[in-house]
């Protein structure tokens, strides 16, 4: 089993080294609002000391010169997709975990739309036990396992049977073992959605909903606008998201059930969420990392890896999403990692299944395009990728504080690497950055 493989490596690592001193590393901690060059002592899975200079440390401590490196709390992904079970050629649990560790994630939450879906305890138990590792391991995978810790895996339970939006699952039966409830698909039946929210309220679990009206989407392949006309691609109108969002917000107001809004992608949605929060509705919201980097102008290449759902927004949407995230209207950045095989994605743009991988790419690209560019502070970015996603999942955020568990990510913002099949740990390569050089790479994660 996957877990047994990781345990062997972690035991070996623990026996070989129980104490590390990271010297003059840039500590970024949103919880304590720290952005400072410090020494950090890690021992026995705990942060032992954080000081400007640590002179006294246990014998056999490994000293590491970390000038130029960044140490932050482990990253947290709100929702991503697994190929296993059902589509192991896209991604296995083993490759998904490796990709998450390589991307700096210490917590990873998986949507229930597998085959079979996570709508009953039998499927959930199989996933929690880590069965079915059909992936092949490369030397790079072994090296990663020996230097980083595998992330905690969490599983969303399906709201509806078969994630079909027709009949609710045994919510109470699943509640004890899932991180929360989500279909990862729109629930179009508003009467059913109302009942779901009423049943879910006393369970006290996170509920994630995607605002999307499939009828209004039609055959839309990209966001409707000037660019869609120029490229000759069918448009997906803004109202396909905003009308569904307005309905969800009304149901939240009626039931008072806290809800997380997934995959926000339009400027108008940001406005609606701001208005709802001002009214005191119990909502949080997220957008995907790629919607903070690209807009419809990137689609002139017709790259099927940029066929997403929801689609990339128009330039005004991109601006509103970035501003909404910085001001707290939007709470967190999700990765929404969606692996597909080469054959599935190598088709005409409008025919490609929507989705792209991102676990290994998100932090380097966001750092380079937002932090290095001077648009965001490092604290702002790390908050949106670590503490705020944890809070959306009703979890305690990790922090770099003496006495706390060492749930950490070490990042080199200057290291250059090329995105290729043999440098990615994901089985899938459906990304528009394939064969391009990126600046910034994860060096290690810690997780007790």
317 is catalytic: no
- 133 assigned to some structural domain: yes
Specify if 178 maps to a domain.
yes
| Helix 139-147 and helix 2-16, axial crossing angle in degrees, nearest 10 | 60
Q: What is the pLDDT of residue 301?
A: 96
Average pLDDT over residues 52-81: 97
Residue 418 resides in a domain: no
Residue 271: inside a domain: yes
**Can you give the pTM of this predicted structure?**
0.93
Read off the pLDDT of each residue in 391-409 and give the average, rounded to a whole number: 98
In a domain, 242, yes or no: yes
Q: What's the pLDDT tens digit per position in 291-331?
A: 999 999 999 999 999 999 999 999 999 999 999 999 999 99
Total number of domains in the chain: 1
Question: Does position 165 have pLDDT exceeding 60, yes or no?
Answer: yes
Asked if 378 contacts 35 with a C-beta cutoff of 8 angstroms, the reply is yes
pLDDT band for position 146 (cuts 50, 70, 90): low
Nearest to 83 by CA among 69, 101, 65, 95: 95
pLDDT in tens, 221-231: 999 999 999 99
Average pLDDT estimate for 143-156: 81
> pLDDT band for position 149 (50/70/90)?
confident
User: Closest by alpha carbon to 390, among 96, 110, 73, 103?
Assistant: 73
Per-residue pLDDT at 138: 56
In a domain, 59, yes or no: no
**pLDDT-derived band of residue 140, with 50, 70 and 90 as boundaries?**
low
pLDDT at 141: 61
Catalytic residue among 336, 372, 375, 412: 336
* Inside any domain, residue 44: no
Average the pLDDT over 66-83 and give the result: 98
* CATH classification at residue 102: 3.20.20.140
**pLDDT above 50 for 5:** no
The domain containing residue 168 runs over which residues? 75-399
What is the percent of the chain with per-residue pLDDT over 90, rounded to a whole number? Answer: 90
Write the pLDDT tens digit of every residue in 345-356.
Answer: 999 999 999 999
In this prediction, residue 94 carries a pLDDT of 95
- Flag whether 436 is in a domain: no
Q: Which residue has the higher pLDDT, 364 or 3?
A: 364
* Residue 349, pLDDT score: 98
């Amino acid at each position: 089993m996957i877990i047994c493989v990781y345990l062997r490596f972690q035991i070996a690592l623990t026996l070989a080294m129980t104490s590390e001193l990271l010297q003059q590393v840039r500590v970024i901690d949103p919880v304590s609002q720290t952005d400072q060059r410090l020494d950090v002592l890690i021992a026995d899975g705990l942060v032992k000391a954080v000081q400007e200079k640590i002179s006294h440390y246990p014998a056999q401590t490994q000293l590491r010169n970390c000038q130029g490196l960044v140490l932050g709390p482990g990253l947290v992904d709100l929702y991503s997709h697994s190929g296993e079970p059902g589509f192991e050629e896209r991604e296995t649990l083993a490759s998904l975990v490796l990709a998450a560790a390589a991307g700096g994630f210490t917590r990873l939450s998986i949507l229930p739309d597998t085959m079979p879906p996570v709508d009953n305890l039998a499927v959930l138990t199989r996933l929690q036990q880590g069965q079915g590792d059909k992936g092949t391991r490369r030397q790079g995978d072994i090296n990663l396992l020996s230097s980083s810790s595998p992330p905690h895996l969490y599983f969303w339970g399906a709201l509806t049977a078969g994630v079909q939006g027709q009949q609710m699952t045994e919510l109470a039966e699943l509640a004890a073992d899932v991180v929360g409830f989500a279909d990862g698909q729109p629930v179009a039946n508003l009467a059913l959605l109302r009942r779901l929210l009423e049943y879910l309220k006393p369970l006290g679990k996170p509920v994630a909903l995607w605002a999307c009206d499939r009828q209004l989407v039609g055959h839309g392949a990209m966001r409707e606008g000037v660019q869609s006309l120029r490229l000759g691609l069918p448009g997906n109108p803004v109202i396909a998201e905003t009308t569904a969002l307005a309905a969800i917000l009304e149901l939240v107001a009626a039931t008072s059930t806290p809800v997380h809004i997934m995959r926000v992608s339009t400027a108008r949605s940001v406005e609606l969420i701001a208005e709802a929060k001002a009214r005191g509705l119990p909502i949080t919201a997220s957008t995907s990392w790629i919607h903070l980097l690209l807009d419809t102008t990137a689609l002139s290449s017709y790259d099927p890896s940029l066929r997403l759902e929801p689609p990339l927004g128009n330039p005004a949407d991109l601006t509103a999403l970035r501003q909404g995230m910085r001001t707290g209207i939007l709470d967190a950045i999700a990765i929404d990692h969606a692996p597909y095989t080469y054959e599935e994605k190598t088709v005409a743009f409008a025919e490609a299944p929507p989705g792209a991988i991102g676990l290994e790419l998100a932090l380097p690209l966001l750092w380079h395009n937002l932090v290095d560019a001077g648009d965001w502070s490092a604290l702002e970015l790390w908050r949106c990728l670590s503490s705020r996603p944890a809070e959306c999942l009703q979890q305690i955020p990790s922090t770099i504080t003496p006495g706390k568990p060492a749930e950490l990510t070490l990042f080199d913002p200057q290291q250059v690497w090329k995105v290729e099949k043999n440098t990615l740990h994901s089985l899938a390569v459906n990304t528009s950055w394939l064969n391009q050089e990126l600046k910034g790479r994860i060096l290690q994660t810690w997780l007790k």
